[in-house]
Chain A
Amino acid sequence: MLQTDVLNYGIAAAEIALAVGVCLVLVVDLFVRDKDRDITYLLSLAVLAVTAWLVAPIGMNGREVTFYGSFVVDPMSRVLKLFSLLTVAVVFLYSRKYLKERDLYKGEFFLLSLFALLGVFVLISANSLLTAFLGLELMSLSLYAMVAFNRDSPKAAEAAMKYFVLGAIASGVLLYGMSIIYGVTGSLQFDEIATSLAAGQSNYLSVLLGLAFILVGVAFKLGAVPFHMWLPDVYEGAPTSVTLFIATVPKLAGFAMAVRLLVEAMAPVAADWQSMMIVLALLSLGVGNIVAIAQTNIKRMLAYSTIAHVGFILIGFIAGSPMGLAASLFYSIIYVLMSAAAFGCIILLGTKEAEADQLDSFKGLNERSPWLAVMMLLVMASMIGIPPFAGFYAKWAVLSAIVERGEIWIAIVAVLFSVIGAFYYLRVIRMMYFDPPKRVSTDSDELVPIVAGFDVKLVFSLNALALLALGIFPNQLLALCTAAFM
């Protein structure tokens, strides 16, 4: 029997430490001069390290609930929290160069990122509708502010405005669904909602209505078609280091949100949300892969590629088995790694004068820097899902889960769209290796130099090599993901 009415602060140690860390960064940054901004940067990294040290032992041995049933830790929350911490650290490492070049190197970037991470943590560990919503808002509000962070860019302001308006509507829709479910089941707690639904005494139509609203909210936050309209504009308009953040950590949170809200609370009506999700997944795969072909801006292209990847993540949910969920978790983590590397490369190639956000900026990368070209080749190949790379195992795990469920046609459609999608990744590779690079001027032979410190290049290389390593030895991570749903 779970004891839920005791306040056990110990298992929330990581959240408490992170919250204290946020306040610490907030206060310390006030007293730091602009030229010493590295102090804030290092302090933020230290906060992440301390939180990681606290997260590591929590929730390893099964499920624990506290705060009167509003907070839960389990193996899944542990895995997701550790990877979100790692991802935020990687984002910080990439962003330093980008922010410094553009006079955006301010404490607020790190502060808002940590706030968003706190929201992600709350969402990952949510066990009641109230907590889930608060976590989601904590994350979303930080993201809106981060997109508008560069106040001198009208494009960023426009993206932030779109994101804010659409995000607020999505939050409202989600909240409406939550209120219906609360009204029907009489509880905010996920396990009690599941028990009440399983008892089958509630009005089925009302449950379906609430479920549909909640699914819309989740789909919006993940960026699944037809709730994807914000994604390309936000990815393009936001400063690249913010895009890097939005493309990575919130996806892990979105996965957790789908697991908590749909798989845990709505388990008795799983057949209903799975059939709705089939539509979302297939549309995402189709629209994502086909529209990406038409893009000339690589940030937009990656936004559509994100939509396609989200389609794959949803397929794991449709499979519904623990194996399917584990495959989805594995896919989410690999996707986050790939996405971080791809945006990291855009940051790496960009300079103060010119963002490297056009496909053309990748032309002839092999001549400019063979090593970086090989690394980017690894990332793109992994995104396509070519065998020795991690992306292949992610796709394979998801597809074998859905085939096991017996829905072979979904697997076939997914593979077909992936083949279409391979085109635009291959185009980047072709540009890097077979197109002539940009010169400083038309008549000179001098190549445009790559201005990037050793640290960014090192992080990018490690990030890309991790995709190769995880592709060759996927078992460790797969076992971790499988253990999360045992």
Chain B
Amino acid sequence: MAEQIIFYAFSCLLIIAALGVVVSRNPINAVMSLVLCFVTSAAIWLLLEAEFLAMILVLVYVGAVMVLFVFVVMMQDIESATLSARFAPNVWPGLVVGAISLAELLVVVWVRREGLPIAAVPEPHPADYSNTLELGKILYTQYVYAFELAAFLLLLAIVAAIVLTMRERPGLKKQNISQQVSVRKEDRVRVVKMEPESDA
């Protein structure tokens, strides 16, 4: 019973937060609503005994990705009026997609009512069961090869991104420190001898 109350409470909060992302006019408010979305989803995952995923969601998405979002939003001067004007033509396709998604959800619910075989609710694990430990065990034994390969893929992505973006563009303005240090007085300062102009 308590579980259900928690689930419904967090689900409602999640829906409100998700609406906040879409509806809010201030981009910062939208980003903050998204943070709330992630934290609430993490709580729902905890109910599913997926505590590792819940932690990762908070750490990676809230801790890293959303910070990046905030940076991007703050760096850019976004006027919500021009933004919503750009979105206006997309309202109809958006509504169609939304309606289809809603219909699909309803079909799933309907199929469930038709008595198709559905997996039984799994037995909850005992309190000392560690999801993280089990995930670690399988990740470092059965899937160790794939895991290491994924790591190499990420390394490659970093290298490729740097190769493609870091270069000397013509006309790039930057400091040349050795030139700055080795500059002499004669290069920069011109001493002009002048006769005093006043007679006093």
Contact = CB atoms under 8 A, between A and B. Distances in A.
A68 interface: yes
Contacts of B153: 134, 137-138, 141
A149 interface: yes
B142 A68 contact: yes
A118 B149 CA distance: 10
Nearest to B170: A152
B144 A130 contact: no
Interface string B139-151: 0011111101110
Interface string A63-84: 0000110110000000000000
B146 A130 contact: yes
A115 B156 contact: yes
A284 interface: no
B150 A134 contact: yes
B145 A70 contact: yes
Interface stretch (B1-9, B115-123, B160-168): B160-168
A37 to B, nearest CB: 15
Nearest to A118: B152
A77 to B, nearest CB: 15
B159 interface: yes
A26 to B, nearest CB: 7
Contacts of B142: 68
Nearest to B151: A19
A19 B152 contact: yes
Contacts of B149: 122, 131, 134-135, 138
A70 B142 CA distance: 9
A362 interface: no
A168 B187 CA distance: 56
A428 B156 CA distance: 39
B152 A138 contact: yes
Contacts of A151: 164, 167
Contact of A71 (B141, B145, B152): B145
Contacts of A135: 149
A13 to B, nearest CB: 13
Contact of B157 (A22, A67, A68, A141): A141
Interface in B16-34: none
Interface string A98-126: 00000000001001100100100010000
Nearest to A109: B163
Contacts of A22: 152
Nearest to A115: B156
Contacts of B164: 145, 148, 151
B135 to A, nearest CB: 16
A198 interface: no
B167 to A, nearest CB: 5
A145 B144 contact: no
B49 to A, nearest CB: 24
Most chain A CB atoms below 10 A, which of B141, B142, B149, B152: B149
A122 B149 CA distance: 9
A354 B178 CA distance: 37
A430 to B, nearest CB: 41
Interface in B151-191: 152-153, 156-157, 159-160, 163-164, 167
A95 B190 CA distance: 52
Contacts of A70: 143, 145-146
B145 A112 contact: no
Interface in B22-71: none
A142 B145 contact: no
A403 to B, nearest CB: 41
A26 B162 CA distance: 12
A190 to B, nearest CB: 14
Given A134-B149, A138-B149, A112 B160 contact: yes
A144 interface: yes
A7 B146 contact: no
A137 B146 CA distance: 12
Given A19-B152, A118-B152, A134-B150, A145 B160 contact: yes
A148 B167 CA distance: 13
Contacts of A145: 159-160, 163-164
A255 to B, nearest CB: 21
Given A70-B146, A134-B146, A112 B159 contact: yes
Most chain A CB atoms below 10 A, which of B145, B152, B164: B145
A118 B148 CA distance: 12
B146 A131 contact: yes
Contacts of A71: 145
A26 B159 CA distance: 9
Contacts of A134: 146, 149-150, 153
Which 4 residue pairs spanning A and B have beta carbons closest together?
A145-B160, A67-B145, A134-B149, A68-B142
Interface of A: 7, 12, 19, 22, 26, 67-68, 70-71, 108, 111-112, 115, 118, 122, 130-131, 134-135, 137-138, 141-142, 144-145, 148-149, 151
Interface of B: 141-146, 148-150, 152-153, 156-157, 159-160, 163-164, 167
7 contacts: A112-B160, A115-B156, A130-B146, A141-B156, A142-B160, A148-B164, A151-B164
Given A68-B142, A141-B157, 19 more contacts: A19-B148, A19-B152, A68-B141, A108-B163, A111-B159, A112-B159, A112-B160, A112-B163, A115-B156, A130-B143, A134-B150, A135-B149, A138-B156, A141-B160, A142-B156, A142-B160, A145-B159, A145-B160, A151-B167
